[in-house]
Amino acid sequence: MAAPATPLQEWLLRHATDGTPATLPGNLQRAFAADDLSLLPVFVAHGWQEHLRSEVCRGQREATDAEQQGLEAAFHAQIGLGEGHDGDLALQLGRAVDRRLEACHHVVHLTAQPMPDGRRWFRLQATASPAAPGGQLETVQVCRVESDSQALAICEAIHEVLSARGTSVEQGLFHLEGPQLGALVAILRRLALPQPDAVMALVA
């Protein structure tokens, strides 16, 4: 039983008059028999490379299409959307609501302020904008939450715990060492709202 043709051999057979190796030009017959790209004339080898590039691009397009279909299916399942419903309208509604809700969110900023003695002092600020508060402050962590009351509650609770543990909180400024700073950043990350689902980022 003959071995199956390799991708190179299948491609070379496109140059055969009747689709068999016997009708290939002599120089292509040698490359076909040896399954050796180096035996091809330069112009034919160039055509093979173009074919490979085209196959890679096609594979990437198919993978992207499959990924988008998977995201759509996951979104439909998440909201209980059946096959007979308007999936495009559901996506448009979801994106529109997400955009409006973004305007309602508040942000807790953890920033650092360098001091003349080389230490960094930190500050928690609740704002309505994800943009950094500005000034000579370094943004350490940003925590997006549902409302201004939540943002203020987070700041107050953290200040209370720090004060109870003996950390001075003067005019909103406090100093933490590495392990304590790591604990604060971790809790802010846990409290932050998740980013909108990737499915909502499908083509608008």
Indicate if the pLDDT at residue 138 is higher than 80.
yes
Mean pLDDT computed over 3-22: 78
Average predicted confidence (pLDDT) for the chain: 78
Distance (Å, whole) CA 125 – CA 108: 6
Indicate if the pLDDT at residue 110 is higher than 70.
yes
The overall longest dimension of the chain from CA atoms, in Å, is: 90
Mean pLDDT computed over 40-66: 77
Work out whether the CA dihedral 66, 69, 74, 75 comes out positive or negative.
Answer: positive
Indicate if the pLDDT at residue 89 is higher than 80.
no
Of the two residues 75 and 4, the one the predictor is more confident about is: 4
Which tokens go with 159?
């200040």
Of the two residues 115 and 159, the one the predictor is more confident about is: 159
Distance (Å, whole) CA 19 – CA 17: 6
Look at residue 19 in the predicted model and tell me its pLDDT.
Answer: 76
Phi, psi of 89 (to 5 degrees): -65, -40
- Nearest Cα to Cα of residue 47 among 21, 6, 8, 4: 8
